[in-house]
Structure 1
Amino acid sequence: MIKKLRNIFNFAHFFLLLTFLSFILPSKYKAEMQEGLKSPLVFIIVLLIIEFLFLIKLFGKKDIQASKDILAFVFGFIFLWELLVSRFNIFPYVFVPAPENVFYIFISDTKKILLGFLSSMFLLITGLFSAISSAVILGTFVGWNQRLTKAIYPIVKAISTVPPLIYTPYVVLIMPTYTIASFTVIFLSIFWGVFMSSINNTAFVEKKIINSARVLNLPTATILFKVIIPFNFPRIFNGLPINIATAIMTLTAAEMLGADNGMGYYVRYSLSFANYTKAIAGIIFIALVVTLINNGISAAKKYLIKWNY
């Protein structure tokens, strides 16, 4: 019981308490800006949700100290943001909006944000799944054949080093529709790296596993699809967070260039009209989406993959 109390009384909750107490202070932001501060209700709900997720992690008895440190940084930043901007208005309010106003956007612009999210997720999921599945199958096949590996691997290694953002504007320009362009950008940004990794993964499969499969007279297709690829699932899942981050980066860049919907378009449209409150809200929303996807991948790996090496 004492240990639980020590976990609850920490720097993170100290900063959270200071944030709530700062609401009592008079606001120069409200006095100097024409719109003033929005209702802090949404901001408070966000803080309580973060606190609730922390308590779940806390009583789960996993990475308690790391969770406390992360939350301390988050609440410490939020406290400084609230104090310096909403209360003292130290920074220009046009460029550094108050947290109350930023989080209020999730209520006032809910429809646009959700439509953008659905549009981006459709492109992200289809492009990511297509790229990873085809890269894993082709990479495993190439890695199985030494002659193909020696011929293709140097080329793939050279292509995979090219940053996707370099060719994103060109792909958006030449493709007939934005949807095809976005799909192509996501596909290319993921395919080459996963393709190269799959070639390497095939080469690193333990020889005794392959020899055991050969002793059973299994056909090559069965060895590739039921032995080598499942064996490499942990490596594939480990690379998913990086692949998703790359895919969202390129998708956002494509949306900012030529889309009329999507998470990246929302940020670009807001910046075009110098609405930095909406732009920051859009950036926070994208970061939240990436975090939730990565947590979902970790949970899926935990329950779907019971082996590792």
Structure 2
Amino acid sequence: MNFIKDRLGVTLIFIGVLGGYVLLTDVFHVLNPFLFHSITKVPPLFVEYFGQLMDGLWSSLSLLVWAYMLALILGIGLGAFIGSKKLVRKNLTPYINAFSAIPVTLLTPYAINLFPSFRVASIFIIFLGCFWIILGSTITAVMTIDKRYLENAATLEIPNIQRLFRIVLPAASPAILTGCTIALKLAFMLLAVAEMFGVTSGMGYFIQYYSDFGRFDLVAVGFIFMAIVLLIILYAFDLIKGRILHWTINN
């Protein structure tokens, strides 16, 4: 009963958006039919191109998993170190702010020429975009921890490693995980850019390929499929986050 109550608003909004789209396309014909196809065309195309969509999913996940996990490990590791060391933070922050301000997509030509394969270059583009967000959120989260926690740890003579995993990271985890969620959404945006070169399969490639041929019905199928995948991944991520942050007010 609680699940239905919690999801009622989401369901009503979905029905409203779907109904509005049907009115604008099939009933009043307000939207351009070349760009915005009838919703009735989508299910048959899903069935027809399901194999190609799934091949694209596995191809995209092979890029996303490596890039995101690397960004997660390095971003949280370096962020925790920099955030907890005032002198290091003061010296590195200007450089972090400067380099993170450069749009990752502008580095695509350099990545293609510097790395040995298009696949590695694609992983690097996604990794870098996620890394700056996770690094920045971790530094901010660690440096804003209530210093009384650290003072109590020093009084109890807790070793540095135990202090990191038992005090610093748990206290900073709400803000860190918020940054990780934002980075995950950005990874899907960068996926479309990363799959524009040197690949023949992928969710972003599927959309770009059929867009070039003017098949906007299949472009819509690609958008919907990518949105469904992202929702499933974010839902799984929220479950993990809820377990980690079980002590917070929203859990």
TM-score (norm 2): 0.89
Paired with 1:176 and 1:166, the residues of 2 have a C-alpha distance of 19
The one-letter amino acid of 2:13's match is I
Tell me, yes or no, if structure 1 residue 60 matches structure 2 residue 11: no
Paired with 2:24 and 2:232, the residues of 1 have a C-alpha distance of 24
Paired with 2:34 and 2:79, the residues of 1 have a C-alpha distance of 50
Tell me, yes or no, if structure 1 residue 77 matches structure 2 residue 77: no
Identity %: 28
Paired with 1:245 and 1:144, the residues of 2 have a C-alpha distance of 27
Paired with 1:67 and 1:302, the residues of 2 have a C-alpha distance of 20
Q: Looking at CA atoms only, which structure, 1 or 2, has the larger radius of gyration?
A: 1
CA separation of 1:152/1:69 partners in 2, compared to 1, >3 Å: closer, same or farther?
same
Moved more, 134-143 or 289-298: 289-298
1:138 is matched with 78
How far residue 59 of structure 1 moved from its aligned partner, in angstroms, is 5.2
How far residue 222 of structure 1 moved from its aligned partner, in angstroms, is 1.9
CA separation of 1:248/1:68 partners in 2, compared to 1, >3 Å: closer, same or farther?
closer
Paired with 2:145 and 2:97, the residues of 1 have a C-alpha distance of 20
Paired with 1:60 and 1:89, the residues of 2 have a C-alpha distance of 34
* Superposed structure 1 runs of 4+ greater than 6 Å apart: none
Q: CA RMSD in A?
A: 2.3
Tell me, yes or no, if structure 1 residue 307 matches structure 2 residue 251: no
CA separation of 1:76/1:242 partners in 2, compared to 1, >3 Å: closer, same or farther?
same
2:230 is matched with 290
Paired with 1:116 and 1:169, the residues of 2 have a C-alpha distance of 24
How far residue 173 of structure 1 moved from its aligned partner, in angstroms, is 4.4
Paired with 2:224 and 2:242, the residues of 1 have a C-alpha distance of 27
Are the counterparts in 1 of residues 82 and 88 from structure 2 also a CA contact under 8 Å? yes
2:191 is matched with 251
TM-score (norm 1): 0.73
How far residue 69 of structure 1 moved from its aligned partner, in angstroms, is 4.7
Are the counterparts in 2 of residues 169 and 254 from structure 1 also a CA contact under 8 Å? no
Moved more, 116-125 or 298-307: 298-307
Unaligned runs of 5+ in 2: none
Unaligned runs of 5+ in 1: 1-55
2:97 is matched with 157
Are the counterparts in 1 of residues 111 and 121 from structure 2 also a CA contact under 8 Å? yes
The one-letter amino acid of 1:283's match is F
Moved more, 195-204 or 148-157: 195-204
Moved more, 97-106 or 128-137: 97-106
1:209 is matched with 149
Paired with 1:173 and 1:242, the residues of 2 have a C-alpha distance of 29
Are the counterparts in 2 of residues 81 and 99 from structure 1 also a CA contact under 8 Å? no
How far residue 195 of structure 1 moved from its aligned partner, in angstroms, is 1.2
Paired with 2:25 and 2:35, the residues of 1 have a C-alpha distance of 15
The one-letter amino acid of 2:180's match is L
How far residue 98 of structure 1 moved from its aligned partner, in angstroms, is 2.2
